[in-house]
Amino acid sequence: MSRLEQRINRDLAAIYSRRREQAEKLGELKRAQMYNQYPELELMDRKIQQAGISGLYRFLGDDCDDQCLKISIREREDFLAAKGISADYDSPQYFCSICNDSGSLTSGEWCPCRRRLFHKEMSKYLPIPFQEGARFANFNLNLFSDQSEGGQQSARERMRELREVTVFYTRYFSQVQDQNLLFSGQTGTGKTFLMQSIGREVQDQGYSVLYVTSPILFEWMKTMTKLRQSYNPDRGQYEEMELLTDALMSVDLLLLDDLGSEISASWTVESNTSDFLTLLDTRLHKSLHSIIATNLSDADLLATYDKRTYSRLMGNYIFYRFPDGDIRLKLRHQGQ
């Protein structure tokens, strides 16, 4: 079990404990309110409790008429029915009625509510939120040109096909064989919006999703390498970076945006792509889904990264080139 899972499992255990405690306290409060309104009900409950104790004494050897308990229970049932009160009025109302807020089923399997809660809690450790409105329904094809050149598809037609592909990808997320997508295109062509639309839809299905930009990813990997090489690393920072590393290696869908923008004057292939290659290989080995967006073309990727990294990207990802044209500028003009 990864450290991320351990941390989240502790959080979940605490959440379920609080939920059970709250449900039980609310049941006790309802009982107290009912006793205040119907003092005779409290007397009946006490009589039943005493009869139960007497029954225990009889079992241990003392003589007692166990008809007393049956009569008391029947009187209570009749009283509740006459007042229109549910027989289980003071029973705890659990958040999840399937597992009674235990997180597990009698079969020993996890309750469906736990998976949903797990992914919700995981999002607390993932620092970058999605854009507001990143949904397929908000993907405006009219922002792309409908003019075709040289018998080629128009930008709008190409993006319509790509949207259909990505909708299919999300709808059959657990079944698609082509699990990894690579979006390439100029700045402002809609790569991030479409990527996050996929992520939002997949997340709504209950899968874990992490969105991160390439500069931040490479900074995480650089920081983690320094911490691991340090004789006495900061414990809090080390634990935080371990959680992030675990997330990168284990989420159902990783969204990596702006690959190539991590490049700087101090950037070198040798010092930066080893951990990146490990990440790609680990996720491929685990059959986890990944979507990468980049402003670099096929040729630029080959010129920027080493052959092994380029081979992973082009050999294990379905490559989609977005049509040119800054749709963000069009959106700004429309808003003026």
CATH number at residue 241: 3.40.50.300
- CA separation (Å) from 326 to 109, 111, 184? 49, 46, 14
Measured distance between the N- and C-terminal CA atoms of the chain, rounded to whole angstroms:
52
Asked if residue 212 and residue 106 are part of one domain, the reply reads no
89, 140: one domain:
no
pLDDT band at 206 (very low <50, low <70, confident <90, very high): confident
Model confidence, pTM: 0.69
What pLDDT is recorded for position 311? 93
Which domain-ending residue is among 55, 88, 113? 113
Say if residue 277 is in the same domain as residue 300.
yes
Residue 47: give the domain boundaries.
3-113
pLDDT confidence bin for 128, thresholds 50/70/90: low
If pLDDT is split at 50, 70 and 90, which confidence band does 130 have? confident
Specify if 140 maps to a domain.
yes
pLDDT the model gives residue 292:
96
Could you count the other beta carbons within 10 Å of the beta carbon of residue 101? 22
Instruction: Establish if 69 belongs to a structural domain.
Output: yes
Across the range 180-200, mean pLDDT stands at: 90
Q: How far apart are CA 249 and CA 300, in angstroms?
A: 26
Are 81 and 11 in contact, with CB atoms under 8 Å apart? no
Lookup: tokens for 310? 């380029």
pLDDT(330) > 90? no
Condensed to tens digits (0 to 9), the pLDDT of residues 222-277 reads 888 888 888 888 877 777 778 788 888 888 999 999 998 887 645 555 556 788 99
Residue 154 has pLDDT above 90, yes or no: no
Residues 133 and 281 in one domain: yes
Nearest alpha-carbon partner for 217 in 183, 236, 245 = 245
The structural domain count of the chain equals 2
**Angstrom distance (rounded) from CA 41 to CA 28:** 14
156 and 297 part of one domain: yes
pLDDT of residue 265: 46
317: pLDDT confidence band, cut at 50, 70 and 90? Answer: very high
User: Residue 154 is encoded by which pair of tokens?
Assistant: 């128009």
Task: Compute the distance between CA of residue 157 and CA of residue 113 in angstroms, rounded to an integer.
Answer: 41
Q: Tell me the two tokens of residue 130.
A: 């999605």
Query: Does residue 234 share a domain with residue 130?
Result: yes
